[in-house]
Amino acid sequence: MEKSSLNKELVFLILQFLDEEGLKETAHKLERESGIYFDMKYFEDMLLAGKWDDAERYLSGFTSVDDNRHSTKVYFEIRKQKFLEALDMDDRGKALDILIKDLKVFSSGHEELFNEMTQLLIISNIREHASLSTYGDTDSVRKIVADDIKKVIEANPVFHEKLKCPVFKSQRLRYLLNQSLNWQHLLCKDPLPVPGIKTLLEDHVCKPSLNLSSLQSEENESIENSDPDKHLSNNNSGPSTITDSVPFPATLTNPETAMEDPSVISLKGRPCQTSNEVTSAIANVLPENVVQIFKEDSLPVTMDFHPIGHTLLLAGTNIGSIGLWDVNSGEKLFSENYRIWGIGASSINFKEAQEKDFRVSVKKIKWNPEGSLFGVAFSKHLVQLYSYHHGNDIISQHLEIDAHDGSVNDLAFSSLNEQLLVITCGDDKKIKVWDTVSGVRCYTFEGHDAPVCSICPHVKQQIHFIFSTSTDGKIKAWLYDSLGARVDFDAPGYGYTALAYSADDKRLFSCGTGKDGEPYLVEWDESEGYIKRTYKGLKKPCFSAIHFDSTQKGLLAAGDGHKVKFWNMDSVELWTSTDVDAELLENPCIRFNKKGTLLAVAAKENKIKILAIDDILQKQNEIRSIHVPNNQHETLKCTESPILVDAGAGVADEGIVMNGCQKGSEDGRSNSIEDSHNKSKFWNVSEICEPSQCQFLQLPVHPKISKIVRLAYTNAGCGILALASNGDHLLWQWPRDSLNLDGKATAQFSPHICRSRSGLQLMSNKLTSSYSGNPVSCFSLSKNDSYLMSTSGEAISLFNMLTFKTVTTIMTPPPMATCLSFYPRDNNILAIGMDNYSIIIYNVRTNKIISKLEGHSKRVTALAFSSSFDLLVSGDINAQIFVWNTNGWEKQKDGYLQIHGQKVPEILSDTHIQFHPYQRHFLAVRSNYLAMHEATELKLGSRSFNGYLPGNFLI
């Protein structure tokens, strides 16, 4: 029975694998038993070696002696030659045996030939027979026989399509297995950054990232507390790491249940919406009004808004010039024509290309995530990086890279292991990764067969990867290693395609055109690798790139057909479009700002039109430029600033703020550690000037909850967790629906109180204790919101946020825990501030203390990690701040928050610390103090507030 095409291809993959592994005989046995591929070279080698029985055995897997005359001929020639060689070696007995057993089957109809062969048995030399007079030596005769048999086999219809092996890439089976494991890893509920693949005999499933197998899991059952001093030497203890395979990034979506488990991947579709619901949701976030028009020297082809200063717009043109615009004021803050900074360092290929054609276009302009750098990719070889200083709009040349042979088609930024990288792709079919500080090339990815036109770096569950697309419609995914592409699939239409994640980083879209001009705008299902939606309404045919973008409110836009077209992400039907006064190009470049409140559109006559939501620039001041007017600069410089003073400094160190004035040193220079910093760098200050800009919402109450003592948003930003004075926890979450498309916390809609899937309504800390100290309540959520560590003055409880069950309890006082923080890189590790002034680094999985940090002189009240810089910042009630290096858990810096000119505050108050999302700066808050500080050097990074904050506050 003929095998299916897929079965045949599977056998070919196995044959390739066996051959690459050196299992040659096994491969040939599979060829014979499957009968799908006849290895002519292998068969011919057996004939030339005189392995007649082996050759016939191999042949029998494909044809029998009586299939047709060609098959009969092949079998006869093999057996005849075996008979003649036996006679030539004067082995009459063997020859007789061959004649009777092997050749007699051919006697019917060929009696004369059989009789002649019988007569050869009595001839001493077979060459004496007239028909064998020219019989030569054995090797030459075998060569003639092998050639004849080869021709007969090639003419035999039985061997049709069995003589050629299909051509495919090496290690194809291994590649498919890796790809399958990558997709399986996407479906894991708790995907590990580096999963261990133990078997291929069953589907891969990651165990939860918080490995609690060594702990007791019964509800409210505690483990035996270890003696802290017994484990102080185990500084290197930590989670076990398995590096058997490298995963493909996982994506997280929200389940439909009231209790959301961020670690569970839901493959269910979004709920259907009525047209009225869509109208209500989209109409409120649709930028329709032209509020600003800029005029460039030439056509804008690429634009990008600043990630923090939401009214700063970069633009690059088709003649290589760049500009920075302030949408708020309408001013052009910076412009520069294309020029080479260092032609001497450029490659010969670039110099030759420049001499042939001096015309250069900007292909991509983009900010880095912090807005401190922006990159410009040009149509010839070069990438240029500029540094941008917040507040004073100082732009300077930072780095120039001769990146690719030919055009640099795309550019993006990514952070990996504290290192800011810039990623480029080009016409040379390569993707390259560069260090933004030194310009050193860190990685080169090769594998595309056509120019690479788009790159999309991303990170999921701490797994960093890069999507890339080429002009032939191939989409590949790469990890930061040398193992090649992890995923390889085709874009719709097999043509130019660009990939981008939505503004909230949760949904993946691509837009491109097919070879026949058919345009495509689609949403992908990351976990399965298929197209979820194909959006309608693009103009056909289209033979140029279509620019598209999205907002956090679920709005999708594309520049197409002299219009900007809008879709609700959850509906494939075109929602609306605008031609912006009929001044748009056929496929205009478009770009939203990060908030989605502004849309920049390239128009005719080299214009850039800025569209806003309901004249938002005039009605509200919620869009604030990072550009600070000159008079405000002076105000900031005169503002009294808190100083971090070295904890070990003596009385003689007097270069600090006193009574609002700075006292200089004897040589006239200020000793303030902030002088040089404050003169050149000011942070954006967003002011809320009107009560109408503030929104109020009272959360639903619970009958068992009275006084709230701790409050925090979930890390996903879709819920609020509270800890009450009675030890109970309460979780509110905002549902994702047509009115709240991203499911984030908002004052416009009320959240609901979550209940667990196990039926438990509340998570409760233990309160009964013989410990005489004043109880302190604190908690910490794991990075993926799956686990909660909490205490109300007693032992620390570990809760499962999905079931609300107590997984274990640890660290029964004394000493008492006063603050908690999960280590972002490993949910097994917890930092615990104690009332004995120490900080314990604890491994929950092994139930051991990794390290004990000492230095504080008062109770520790704040702990915050910066995974980007490997730092832990701690604070106490005495306003003392410590910075610890998490690689070796050693002290890096320490100092005091300077309050009203005091070195040490007179009033003891809890210090609270929280890192900025970009993790370079942290916010320090006390009852009479609020300021931003740079973490690595403990420098003041922002305006501060010195004075008593009104009322009580919870963090």
Long-range contact list for 693-698, CB < 8 A, 24+ apart? 693/620, 693/621, 693/622, 695/747, 695/748, 696/747, 697/747, 697/748, 697/750
Residue with token string 């604070």: 875
Q: Is-contact 320 340, C-beta < 8 A?
A: no
Per the CB < 8 A criterion, the answer to whether 657 and 647 are in contact is no
Residue 318 above 50 pLDDT?
A: yes
Strand-pairing partners, residue 914, are: 923
Mean pLDDT of the chain: 79
Angle at 68 between CA 62 and CA 73, to 5 degrees: 85
Total Cβ atoms within 10 A of residue 178:
18
Bridge partners of 331, per DSSP, are 326
Burial state string for 871-896 with b = 16 or more CB within 10 A and e = fewer than 16: bbbbbbbbbbbbbbebeebeebbbbb
Chain segment 709-736, per-residue pLDDT in tens: 999 999 888 999 999 988 999 999 998 8
Per-residue confidence (pLDDT) for residue 365, from 0 to 100: 98
Rounded distance between C-alpha atoms, residue 780 and residue 795, angstroms: 14
Put the strands of the sheet holding 362-367 in their side by side order.
362-367, 373-378, 382-389, 394-402
Show Cβ contacts of residue 131 under 8 Å, excluding neighbours closer than 6 positions: 116
Helices (H) and strands (E) in the chain, counts: 14, 52
Whole-angstrom Cα distance, residue 646 to residue 197? 49
Contact 495, 515 (CB under 8 A): yes
Look up residue 692 and give its two tokens.
């109408």
Encode pLDDT of 857-868 as tens digits: 999 999 999 887
Strand-pair category, 519-525 with 530-534? antiparallel
442-467 in b/e burial notation, b at 16+ Cβ within 10 A?
ebebebbeebbbbbbbbebbbbbbbb
What pLDDT was estimated at residue 802? 85
Residue ranges per structural domain of the chain: 38-159, 215-237+700-852, 275-619, 641-681+855-955
Write out the CATH class of domain 275-619: mainly beta
Q: Percentage of residues in the chain with pLDDT exceeding 90? A: 43
- pTM value is 0.45
Checking if the pLDDT of 575 tops 80, the result is yes
Q: Quick one: what percent of the chain has pLDDT higher than 70?
A: 77
Question: What local confidence, expressed as pLDDT, does residue 344 receive?
Answer: 55
- Residues 405-421 have pLDDT tens digits of 999 999 999 998 889 99
Respond yes or no on whether the N-terminal peptide bond of residue 541 is cis (omega within 30° of 0).
yes
Written as one letter, the residue type at 649 is: A
Q: What is the DSSP letter of 268?
A: P
Which tens digits make up the pLDDT trace of 62-99? 999 989 999 999 999 999 999 999 988 888 889 899 99
C-alpha neighbours within 13 Å on the C-beta side of residue 133: 2
Per-residue confidence (pLDDT) for residue 768, from 0 to 100: 64
Place of tokens 């499962």: 800
Q: Is 278 helix (H, G, I), strand (E, B) or coil?
A: helix
Highest mean pLDDT among 166-175, 253-262, 505-514, 938-947: 505-514
How large is the average pLDDT for residues 147-168? Answer: 91
Tell me the pLDDT tens digit for each residue of 483-517.
888 888 889 988 999 999 998 888 999 999 988 88
Domains 215-237+700-852 and 641-681+855-955 fall in the same CATH topology: no
Mean pLDDT (whole number) for 794-823: 91
In the three-class reduction of DSSP (H, G, I as helix; E, B as strand; rest coil), residue 375 is classed as: strand
Question: 554's torsion region: left (phi>0), alpha (psi -120 to 50) or beta?
Answer: left
- Weakest mean pLDDT among 353-362, 364-373, 609-618, 661-670: 661-670
Contact predicate 292/305, CB 8 Å: no
Helix 69-88 and helix 138-155, axial crossing angle in degrees, nearest 10 = 170
Q: Quick one: which of 368, 378, 231, 241 has its CA closest to 302?
A: 378
DSSP 843-879: ETTTTEEEEEE---SS-EEEEEEETTTTEEEEEETT-
Tokens of 162: 């069995």
Beta-sheet pairing, 331-336 with 322-326: antiparallel
Secondary structure, 3-state, 732-794 = EECCCCCCCCCCCCCCCCCCEECCCCCCCCCEECCCCCCCCCCCCEEEEECCCCCEEEEEECC
Q: Does pLDDT of 793 surpass 50?
A: yes
What is the per-residue pLDDT across 579-623, written as a single tens digit (0 to 9) for each? Answer: 998 889 999 999 999 989 999 999 999 999 999 986 444 444 443
Q: What is the pLDDT of residues 518-565, one digit of tens each?
A: 999 999 987 667 889 999 999 988 888 999 999 988 999 999 999 999
pLDDT tens string 29-64: 999 999 999 999 999 999 999 999 999 999 999 999
| Strand order, beta sheet including 590-592 | 289-295, 607-612, 598-603, 590-592
Q: Which of 437-451, 469-483, 655-669 has the lowest mean pLDDT?
A: 655-669
The pair of structure tokens assigned to 79 is: 């057996």
pLDDT above 60 (res 234): no
The fourth-level CATH superfamily of domain 215-237+700-852 is YVTN repeat-like/Quinoprotein amine dehydrogenase (2.130.10.10)
Taking domain 641-681+855-955, whether its CATH number is 2.60.40 is answered by no
> What is d(CA 627, CA 269) in angstroms, rounded to the nearest whole number?
43
pLDDT for position 926: 87
